[in-house]
Amino acid sequence: MLTLTCPYCGVAADETELHPGGEAHLARSGPDSADADFESYLFLRKNPRGVHFERWRHSHGCGKWFHAARDTRTMQVWGTYPAQVTEPPQDLLAAIADRTA
Amino acid sequence: MKHYSAFAIAREALRGHTGWERAWRKATPKKRYDVVIVGAGGHGLATAYYLGRNHGIRNVAVLEKGWLGGGNTGRNTTIIRSNYLQDPSAAIYEKARSLYETMSQDLNYNVMYSPRGVMMLAQTEHEVRGYKRTAHANALQGVKTEFISPARVKELCPIIELRGPRYPVLGALWQDRAGTARHDAVAWGYARACSNMGMDIIQKCEVTGIRSENGQVTGVTTTKGDIACGKLGIVVAGHSGHLADMAGFRLPIESVALQALVSEPIKPCMDVVVMANTVHGYMSQSDKGEMVIGGGADGYNNYTQRGSFHHIEETVRALIETFPMISRLKMLRQWGGIVDMTGDRSPIISKTPLGNCFINCGWGTGGFKAIPGSGWATAELIARGEPGPLAAAFGLERFREGRFIDESVAAGVAH
Ligand SMILES: Cc1cc2nc3c(=O)[nH]c(=O)nc-3n(C[C@H](O)[C@H](O)[C@H](O)COP(=O)(O)OP(=O)(O)OC[C@H]3O[C@@H](n4cnc5c(N)ncnc54)[C@H](O)[C@@H]3O)c2cc1C
Ligand SMILES: [Zn+2]
């Protein structure tokens, strides 16, 4: 069972307590955007075989959305972090780069 | 290639089975092929087969990183049906279903196609309306299906409990020409036929890079060296995003785990396939007597070929309500496959931003049934460089243009 620690309430939550929300840090396209931007925002995904930055909601807990970095080959969880950022925290990226180099 | 027949069995019986030959040649890669297909699942092999048979292109290699059919083709619950809602889907799935009917004869390989009938249970009012609509659409498409009553459901499958407290059976969409086939045999049969046409089937050969010049594909880098090609077909299901990354483009695809399980073998108790889409449970009985059960897909990206246990639990919990007699069955095996899900739950058969590089993917949870039709359409696309009538609607550009082939409306899933 996948377990992620919610960065808000600190609970180590089983995946049955969480709701997956897909790829994180997508740039949202507005009404004036080109078709290609909408395509990218709505459908195109990195879908990496490796570290995936993704959104989760602690739906059966505190209810907050948060982010996780997880390896899709091994299910290793690199860490979780709050939702109010547009990119992963530098220390998390550094830790991943360090360990996967 | 020696022909398989009753006579061949008798002949070999008399000489101690010393005369059987390998079903397909073991091959080492040549320097160059007219067409290289990445992925020896059903779709890749069928594409190669129809390149040779329909278009006379035989200087072809199929490269497989693992073993032939070791991807989703050898991991699925083998349900074959063509009762889809949208016209482009009905066309390609019905083409595939009709090709399955004669596949054993065409390939001279017994794929055990069993048109035993498939019923999709309607367990909510919404599903009743959805399936009636599909039955009407199918009538217009020339695909024979009907919406049947609970009494008829019970007649066709006596082990079903119609009055489950949570999920009563309110009717079903029934396709009597639908059924199952032996999944490995489909891959093996195509591989044998391809090899017989002079094509190379190369296993344990992983593509690690895609080479191009001036926006045109020129070849691939593999664990068995560089291989040049005139045209490239990427047919790797759950790994499509990874290969697209090598070719320099992104896809509207996410890879997730889908699981199945089989029970201990029991005496024959159901001779149709039953799909319960509301609860994500699918069941049929194999010729060996095992109950073959398919479940729902995970909600998050994954390449591990292992799914979440709670999905198995949910599937089994719901199926026990509909099939009370399976409650004490022991489950023998459980496994997962990585399925390639698109935004509209329909496949992609398309040109790509890279010249002479084509892609077939996005079959998600339901592409076994499509193998021959998909191979037919993809071979046509690769041979001509432009999609034919079967593939035309399945191009990548539909996600930009908003021309979706929305198959998630009725069921949300499509095994
Ligand atoms: C549990 C489960 C149940 C299912 N049930 C049904 C069902 O009842 N009915 C139905 O119609 N469909 C079903 N499906 C879906 C069906 O199995 C797939 O849609 C179909 O088999 C896909 O075939 P394919 O040839 O595209 O992919 P695959 O069979 O997965 O073949 C792709 C191949 O590409 C190879 N590959 C990947 N990367 C590389 C690389 N870099 N180099 C070389 N080779 C590579 C892989 O090893 C693999 O063998 C189910 C799937 C699963 C997992
Ligand atoms: Zn929380």
Longest dimension (CA), chain B: 64
Q: How confident is the model at residue B255 (pLDDT cuts 50, 70, 90)?
A: very high
End-to-end CA distance of chain B: 34
- Given a cut of 70, whether residue B409 has pLDDT beyond it is no
Mean pLDDT, rounded, for B20-35: 96
Q: How confident is the model at residue B280 (pLDDT cuts 50, 70, 90)?
A: confident
Q: How many CA atoms lie within 13 A of B305 on its CB side?
A: 10
Mean pLDDT, rounded, for A22-33: 93
pLDDT of residue B234: 98
Of all protein residues, the one whose alpha carbon is nearest to atom 34 of ligand 1 is B39
Say what the ipTM of the complex is. 0.94
- B80 three-state secondary structure: strand
Mean pLDDT, rounded, for B206-232: 98
Domains identified in chain A and CATH numbers: 3-98 (3.30.2270.10)
Task: Flag whether residue A16 sits within 8 Å of chain B, measured between CB atoms.
Answer: yes
Q: Is A43 within 8 Å of B343 when comparing Cβ atoms? A: yes
Q: Is the CB of B200 under 6 A from ligand 1?
A: no
* pLDDT tens for each residue of A79-97: 999 999 999 999 999 999 9
Whether B41 and B15 have beta carbons less than 8 Å apart is answered as: no
Class of B114-178+255-342 in CATH:
alpha beta
Whether B283 and B323 have beta carbons less than 8 Å apart is answered as: yes
Q: Nearest CA of chain B to the CA of A43: how many Å?
A: 5
Q: Is the pTM of this model over 0.90?
A: yes
DSSP state of B3: P
pLDDT of residue B407: 87
Whether B240 and B293 have beta carbons less than 8 Å apart is answered as: no
Q: Is the CB of B237 under 6 A from ligand 1?
A: yes
Please report which ligand is nearest the Cα atom of B348. Answer: 1
Beta strands A51-57 and A65-71 are: antiparallel
pLDDT of residue A100: 75
Chain A (33-62) residues lying within 8 Å, Cβ to Cβ, of chain B? 35-36, 38-40, 42-49, 52, 54
| Closest ligand 1 atom to Cα of B243 | 41
| Residue where the block lists tokens 């296993």 | B203
**Segments of A1-101 assigned E as strands:** 3-5, 12-14, 19-23, 51-57, 65-71, 77-82
Mean pLDDT, rounded, for B300-315: 91
- Given a cut of 90, whether residue B326 has pLDDT beyond it is yes
Task: Flag whether residue B317 sits within 8 Å of chain A, measured between CB atoms.
Answer: no
Please report which ligand is nearest the Cα atom of B340. Answer: 1
Q: Is the CB of B57 under 6 A from ligand 1?
A: no
User: Domain coordinates of chain B in residue numbers?
Assistant: 26-78+183-252+344-411, 114-178+255-342
Mean pLDDT, rounded, for B112-132: 96
| Closest ligand 1 atom to Cα of B205 | 43
* Cα A24 from Cα A55, distance rounded (Å): 5
**For residue B54, which of B294, B293, B377 has the smallest C-alpha distance?**
B377
Rounded distance from Cα A57 to ligand 2 centre (Å)? 8
Q: Is the CB of B39 under 6 A from ligand 1?
A: yes
Give me the count of residues in chain B: 415
Percentage of the residues of chain B whose pLDDT score is greater than 70 = 98
- Given a cut of 90, whether residue B415 has pLDDT beyond it is no
Look at the domain B26-78+183-252+344-411 and name its fold.
FAD/NAD(P)-binding domain (3.50.50)
- Given a cut of 80, whether residue B41 has pLDDT beyond it is yes
* Cα B37 from Cα B43, distance rounded (Å): 10
Q: At CA A27, angle to CA A23 and CA A31, rounded to 5? A: 125
For A44, the closest of B239, B251, B299 (CB atoms) is B251
pLDDT of residue B39: 98
Positive or negative CA dihedral for B241, B247, B249, B251?
A: negative
Mean pLDDT, rounded, for A17-34: 94
- Given a cut of 60, whether residue B327 has pLDDT beyond it is yes
Task: Give the mean pLDDT of chain A.
Answer: 95
* Residue numbers in B near A19 (CB within 8 A): 299
The residue ranking higher by pLDDT, B280 or B402, is: B402
Percentage of the residues of chain B whose pLDDT score is greater than 90 = 92
Task: Give the mean pLDDT of chain B.
Answer: 95
Residue B71 makes CB contacts below 8 A (sequence gap 6+) with B39, B41, B236, B237, B238, B337, B338
